[in-house]
């Protein structure tokens, strides 16, 4: 029996019960008893909710999952047929995690950029990871057909329908734990409510500061986890401001591998997914073993922006000569690469000068719903998790 047939049967069986009196039209299923205020509240919930890792298709659809999914920025399809000119990964060792396509519209001949990141940072250190799709498999010379999925979040199914959360069985029981909008969930249900914390951590390095060798050894100086590695012991990095009067003691191999009480510690967790580095003084890399890892990623970024510049430069310069057309996004990407490679730029942080380098490390960490988290349904109802009980404590249907 389909969900629509079940609704028709319920309407016939309970003609005077508003709980079963519904308006059914094709894929549309909206309860009549939901007030306008509750629907407005649900709209607010949609603006604030955290995308979960394994969203499920609802047992009953409201009819606008497809329409809502089309207009989210977590889902993108090709708006025309595009020819792939180049694929430029940001880092070669994880080439399909963060990259750009340089494409040309087959019909209009306009050049464009498609940026693909398999993560998205939202407000308040929340975000989501994007799954790999056939859209990641294109190579130079391939045609991206109109309507092809370029990227999507796990909240979209294969048809583009948006999935808000998970299907839950609920029981209304009068117990102290459920007073004042309290909600008790079982431990197994909590595992289905996983999501990601995503944090960008800034590091400012002046010439008298060093990052400690917390992730390496005497032969390999590592200040922080490499891409794809986990944060160890809850410490992302530690920074030491060198007192030149004590430089002989503070800069030994052993000392730079251990945290002193005067060092600055940056706590963190999860996996390193992206790294950005801006350098004002490249001379600091000369004969400086403690900056080997920083230099490695700086060279990767220089190589990346050099490739971007070399590929886009002929397109941009051909505009005046051959009337070649390109989008604003392509121009912005070209200018950004040009600024990064320029030797005349001096990078600042909040208008403060940086003597050596500024680094941003992006990490993502899986989290689970627990006490104090707010959860809602699709009709404006809400509550706060007060307890997580073992599965055997929960009522049985």
Distance CA 26, CA 133 (A): 30
**Does residue 81 share a domain with residue 222?**
no
Query: Are 295 and 344 found together in one domain?
Result: yes
Statement: residue 23 has pLDDT above 70: no
Same domain, 228 and 350: yes
Mean pLDDT across 352-380: 89
Torsion of the alpha carbons at 144, 147, 148 and 151, rounded to the nearest 10 = 120
Residues 270 and 230 sit within 8 Å (Cβ to Cβ): yes
Task: Note whether residue 114 is domain-resident.
Answer: yes
pLDDT above 90: residue 81: yes
Give per-residue pLDDT as tens, 48-79.
778 888 899 988 887 788 888 888 888 889 99
Task: Report which secondary-structure segment, H or E, holds 301.
Answer: helix 292-322
Distance separating alpha carbons of residues 285 and 6, to the nearest angstrom: 70
Please give the angle made by the CA atoms of 183, 184 and 190, to the nearest 5 degrees.
110
| Burial category of 83 from C-beta neighbours within 10 Å (exposed 0-12, middle 13-18, buried 19 and up) | middle
Where helices occur in 71-184 by DSSP H, the ranges are none
**For residues 125 and 127, what is the distance between their CA atoms, to the nearest angstrom?**
7
Angle at the Cα of 43 from the Cα atoms of 38 and 47, rounded to 5 degrees: 140
The pLDDT, as a whole number, for residue 60 is 83
* Both tokens assigned to 296: 């490695």
Residue 31's pLDDT band (cuts 50, 70, 90): very low
Q: What is the mean pLDDT of the chain?
A: 86
Is 321 a domain residue?
yes
144, pLDDT greater than 90:
yes
Q: Give the Cα separation of 396 and 169 in Å (integer).
A: 10
pLDDT reading at 27 higher than 50: no
CB 221 within 8 Å of CB 149? no
Give the H or E element holding residue 196. strand 194-205
| Structural domain range at position 306 | 195-366
**What's the pLDDT score for residue 5?**
60
Polymer length of the chain = 397
DSSP 324: -
Q: Considering only residues 392 and 351, tell me which one the structure prediction assigns the higher pLDDT.
A: 392
Q: Which of the four pLDDT bands, split at 50, 70 and 90, describes residue 17?
A: very low
The answer to whether residue 309 is domain-embedded is: yes
Burial class of residue 224 (count of CB atoms within 10 Å of its CB; 0-12, 13-18, 19+): buried
136: left (phi over 0), alpha (psi -120 to 50) or beta: alpha
Q: 253 and 199, same structural domain?
A: yes
- Cα–Cα distances (Å) from 350 to 2, 266, 346, in that order, read 59, 20, 13
Which one is predicted more confidently, 377 or 198?
Answer: 198
Residues 235 and 353 in one domain: yes
Q: Does the reported pTM lie above 0.85?
A: no
Spatial separation of the C-alpha atoms in residues 179 and 110, rounded to whole Å: 60
- Is the pLDDT score of 223 beyond 80? yes
Q: For residues 149 and 200, state if they share a domain.
A: no
Q: Are residues 131 and 270 in the same domain?
A: no
Q: Which residue has the higher pLDDT, 94 or 198?
A: 198
CA count, 13 A, side-chain hemisphere, 366: 8
Look at residue 25 and tell me if it is in a domain: no
pLDDT score of 239: 95
In this prediction, residues 132-138 reach a mean pLDDT of 91
At 18, list the tokens. 């508003």
Mean pLDDT for the stretch of residues 22-34: 40
In the chain, what is the greatest distance between 2 CA atoms, to the nearest angstrom? 88
Residue at a domain's end among 141, 163, 185: 163
Is 348 inside any structural domain? yes
In a domain, 11, yes or no: no
| For residues 335-350, average pLDDT | 88
pLDDT-based confidence at residue 15 (cuts at 50, 70, 90): low
Which percentage of the chain shows pLDDT scores above 70? Answer: 89
Q: What is the pLDDT of residue 349?
A: 79
Of all residues in the chain, what percent are helix, strand and coil, respectively (each to 5)?
A: 25, 30, 40
Rounded CA separation 288/283 (Å): 10
pLDDT-derived band at 389 (thresholds 50, 70, 90) equals: very high
Please report whether residue 115 resides in a domain: yes
The answer, yes or no, to whether residue 97 has pLDDT greater than 60, is yes
Is the pLDDT at 26 greater than 80, yes or no?
Answer: no
**Same domain for 226 and 350:** yes
Q: What is the DSSP letter of 345?
A: -
Residue 101: what pLDDT? 96
Kindly state whether residues 248 and 208 are assigned to the same domain.
Answer: yes
Q: Is the pLDDT of residue 397 over 70?
A: no
- In this structure, of 65-69, 106-110, 276-280, 336-340, the range with the lowest mean pLDDT score is 65-69
Predicted pLDDT of residue 41: 74
Q: Note the pLDDT of residue 47.
A: 72
Give the residue-averaged pLDDT of 141-153: 93
Total number of domains in the chain: 2
Question: Do 339 and 202 have their domain in common?
Answer: yes
- Using CA atoms, how far residue 3 sits from 6, 69, 139, 172, in Å, is 5, 22, 43, 24
| 99 within a domain of the structure (yes/no) | yes
On whether both 254 and 122 belong to a single domain, the answer is no
- 211, two tokens: 């990052």
User: Same structural domain for residues 54 and 96?
Assistant: yes
Of 163, 182, 217, the residue that ends a domain is 163
- The enclosing H or E element of 4 equals helix 3-13
């Amino acid at each position: 029996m389909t969900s629509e047939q079940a609704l028709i049967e319920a309407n016939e069986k309970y003609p005077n019960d508003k709980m079963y009196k519904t308006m059914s039209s094709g894929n549309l299923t909206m309860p009549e008893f939901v007030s306008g205020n509750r629907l407005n509240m649900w709209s607010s919930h949609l603006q604030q909710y955290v995308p979960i890792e394994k969203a499920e298709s609802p047992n009953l659809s409201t009819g606008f999952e497809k329409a809502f999914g089309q207009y989210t920025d977590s889902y993108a399809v090709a708006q025309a047929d595009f020819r792939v000119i180049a694929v430029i990964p940001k880092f070669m060792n994880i080439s399909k995690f963060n990259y750009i396509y340089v494409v040309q519209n087959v019909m209009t001949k306009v050049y464009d950029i498609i940026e693909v990141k398999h993560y998205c940072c939202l407000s308040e250190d929340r975000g989501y990871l994007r799954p790999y799709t056939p859209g990641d498999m294109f190579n130079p010379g391939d045609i991206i057909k109109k309507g092809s999925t370029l990227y999507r979040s796990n909240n979209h199914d294969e048809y583009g329908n948006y999935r808000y959360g998970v299907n839950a069985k609920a029981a209304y029981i009068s117990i102290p734990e459920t007073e004042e909008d309290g909600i008790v969930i079982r431990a197994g249900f909590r595992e289905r409510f996983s999501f990601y914390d995503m944090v960008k951590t800034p590091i400012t390095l002046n010439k008298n500061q060093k990052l400690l060798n917390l992730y390496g050894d005497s032969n390999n100086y590592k200040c922080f986890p490499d891409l794809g590695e986990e944060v160890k012991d809850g410490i992302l990095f530690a920074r030491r401001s060198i007192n030149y009067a004590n430089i002989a003691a503070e800069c030994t191999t052993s000392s730079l591998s251990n945290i002193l009480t005067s060092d600055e510690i940056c706590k963190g967790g999860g996996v390193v997914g992206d790294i950005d580095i801006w350098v004002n003084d490249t001379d600091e890399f000369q004969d400086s073993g403690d900056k080997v890892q920083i230099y490695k990623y700086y060279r990767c970024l220089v190589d990346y922006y050099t490739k971007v510049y070399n590929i886009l430069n002929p397109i941009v310069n051909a505009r005046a000569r051959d009337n070649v057309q390109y989008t604003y996004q392509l121009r912005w990407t070209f200018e950004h690469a040009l600024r990064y490679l320029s030797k005349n730029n001096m990078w600042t942080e909040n208008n403060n000068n940086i003597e050596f380098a500024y680094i941003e490390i992006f990490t993502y960490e899986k989290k689970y719903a627990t006490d104090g988290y707010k959860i809602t349904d699709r009709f404006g109802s809400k509550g706060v998790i007060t307890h997580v009980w073992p599965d055997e404590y929960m009522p049985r249907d």
